[in-house]
Amino acid sequence: MVHSRENFLFMRLFIAFIFIFQILPVFSQNLYFPPATGNQWDTIAPSSLGWCASRIDSLSDFLRRNNTKGCIILKDGKIAYERYFGSFQVDSPWYWASAGKTLTATLVGIAQQEGRLSISDTSSKYLGAGWTSLPRNKEDLITIRHQLTMTSGLNDGVSNLNCTDDTCLTYLADAGTRWAYHNAPYLLLHDVLEQATGQTINNYTLQKIMLPTGLRGLWSNDGVFFSTTRSFARFGLLMLNKGKWNTTTILADTNYYNDMVSPSQLLNKSYGYLWWLNGQPSYQLPQVPLIIRGSLISAAPSPVICGLGKNDQKLYIWPQENLVVIRLGESAGGINPTLSGFDNQLWIEIMKLMCNVNSNHETPISNNSFYPNPGSQFLRSMNPISELQIIDLQGKLVFKDENQKSEWDIQNLAPGMYWIMGKSQGVWMKQKWVKQ
């Protein structure tokens, strides 16, 4: 009888523990969601978060100097920082560029959970036989998953990476054996979605994401999404909450979500399903056939996931801190399809603002960083450099300048990975750098 009573009490405690364990994330998440209609959005004072309010002006000056049009930082779903520059306003639309790929990946997951497609399906099931110039046996190796992971094997050495004509889609490698940032197979995911759902990409986006969340935007004819900064932030908040908007589940397939924001293949460990992933041991950049050791954005916390677009359109999500960062605007320097030196610079400023937050980033940050990284035309330094050396991976000195300056023309340098050695105020700085 004593043992039976003890067992009964133990079972009650165990059940209570399980119940508390299951509901704890609901209370700990504690996210705010703005109404789906109207433009009401609660704010939160940075000082109440323990942030350094004195550094807000410094962040704003940095954004202004780097051609930003709009920037929002959400904390627990509420607006902690929101600034617009020049004539750009809260209701001004702008393009997401390749950061919009994250929206497409989400739509594919929704279509799969509805049974309209499977990412293991061959792409030709929806695009038709002969959508490439490949032999049929090679074309049928390509699946939707290969389109999501940039591993189609199609030749990215063509002059127009946006051309989706069959004559532009030629064989280079078997699907799944090579990672290359090729925009045409991505763009054809919109055709896949339209064939699978029987709806236009704009209507499917409207029904599945825009109406439940209040996001307002439009896909252009060339596959680029346009919206306001706040609408972009709504999408970031939806993804922060793993596909759920308040009590409405939009992306219910948790396995798909987890796969989407995890390394999708071994070729580029910092790439999921059209999402960029920080904190991985290595990464590969568009049109740079090199594996680069280290984290994608060294100044950012390791768990950050990213949507990165041309001319520095940025979506960052830091799940552990319930943080969403949106940046829209012109290029901060140079033309880069995704990652640029601006990513590190912006995260340096963000972490300065969040002075009481443990960032857990891996790499010490230098005030003498070189950017853009990768770069193609010019190399710049945040501080004047009295001597600059660029050394290739074989140890050969390929560029040297002993004149004090903060900008160098590097157009004639061959694409590849290098070490930069810069001397500032008698101190040598060393940084790994990629020339596109």
Is there a single domain that holds both residue 114 and residue 205? yes
The predicted model gives 122-134 an average pLDDT of 98
Is there a single domain that holds both residue 193 and residue 334? yes
Q: List 385's β-bridge partners, or say none.
A: 405
Q: What is the DSSP string of 22-64?
A: HHHHHHHH------SSSS---B--GGGGT--GGGHHHHHHHHH
Q: One-letter amino acid identity for 98?
A: S
Domain membership of residue 12 (yes or no) is: no
- From 353, 385, 408, the end of a domain falls on 353
Query: Among 121-125, 258-262, 346-350, which stretch is predicted with the lowest mean pLDDT?
Result: 346-350
**pLDDT, position 419:** 81
For residues 18 and 70, what is the distance between their CA atoms, to the nearest angstrom? Answer: 44
- Residue 358 clears pLDDT 70, i.e. is over it: no
**pLDDT, position 356:** 58
Q: Please state the φ and ψ torsions of residue 328, each to the nearest 5 degrees.
A: -125, 150
Is the bond leading into 46 cis (omega within 30 degrees of zero)?
Answer: no
Is there a single domain that holds both residue 328 and residue 392? no
Query: For all residues of the chain together, what is the average pLDDT?
Result: 89
- Residue 357 clears pLDDT 60, i.e. is over it: no
Contact 274, 265 (CB under 8 A): no
Domain membership of residue 70 (yes or no) is: no
Domain membership of residue 293 (yes or no) is: yes
Is there a single domain that holds both residue 338 and residue 414? no
Is there a single domain that holds both residue 266 and residue 304? yes
Is there a single domain that holds both residue 201 and residue 349? yes
Contact 93, 84 (CB under 8 A): no
Domain membership of residue 365 (yes or no) is: no
Instruction: Summarize pLDDT for 239-291 with one digit per residue, the tens.
Output: 999 999 999 999 999 999 999 999 999 999 999 999 999 999 999 999 888 88
Q: Which residue, 314, 269, 267, is CA-closest to 295?
A: 269
Is there a single domain that holds both residue 235 and residue 342? yes
Rg of the chain over CA atoms, in angstroms?
23
Query: Global pTM?
Result: 0.80
Instruction: Summarize pLDDT for 36-62 with one digit per residue, the tens.
Output: 998 899 999 998 898 988 899 999 999
Q: One-letter amino acid identity for 416?
A: G
Q: Which pLDDT band holds residue 429 (cuts at 50, 70, 90)?
A: confident
Is there a single domain that holds both residue 384 and residue 280? no
| Domain with 402 in it | 372-435
- Residue 325 clears pLDDT 80, i.e. is over it: yes
Domain membership of residue 326 (yes or no) is: yes
Residue 427's alpha-carbon distances to 308, 383, 387, in angstroms, are 33, 12, 10
- Residue 366 clears pLDDT 50, i.e. is over it: no
Q: Say if residue 395 is exposed, middle or buried (CB neighbours under 10 Å; 0-12, 13-18, 19+).
A: exposed
- pLDDT > 70: percent of the chain: 89
- Residue 15 clears pLDDT 50, i.e. is over it: no
Domain membership of residue 7 (yes or no) is: no
* Residue carrying structure tokens 């509901």: 23
Q: Which pLDDT band holds residue 395 (cuts at 50, 70, 90)?
A: low
Residue 99 DSSP class: G
**pLDDT, position 291:** 87
Residue 236: give its domain's CATH number: 3.40.710.10
What are the residues whose beta carbons fall under 8 Å from the beta carbon of 2, sequence distance 6 or more? Answer: none
Q: What 3-state class would DSSP assign to 126?
A: helix
Domain membership of residue 112 (yes or no) is: yes
SS3 letters for 261-328? CCCCCCCCCCECCCCEECCCCEEEECCEEEEEECCCCCCCCCCCEEEEECCCEEEEEEHHHCEEEEEE
What are the residues whose beta carbons fall under 8 Å from the beta carbon of 251, sequence distance 6 or more? Answer: 106, 109, 110, 113, 242, 243, 244, 257
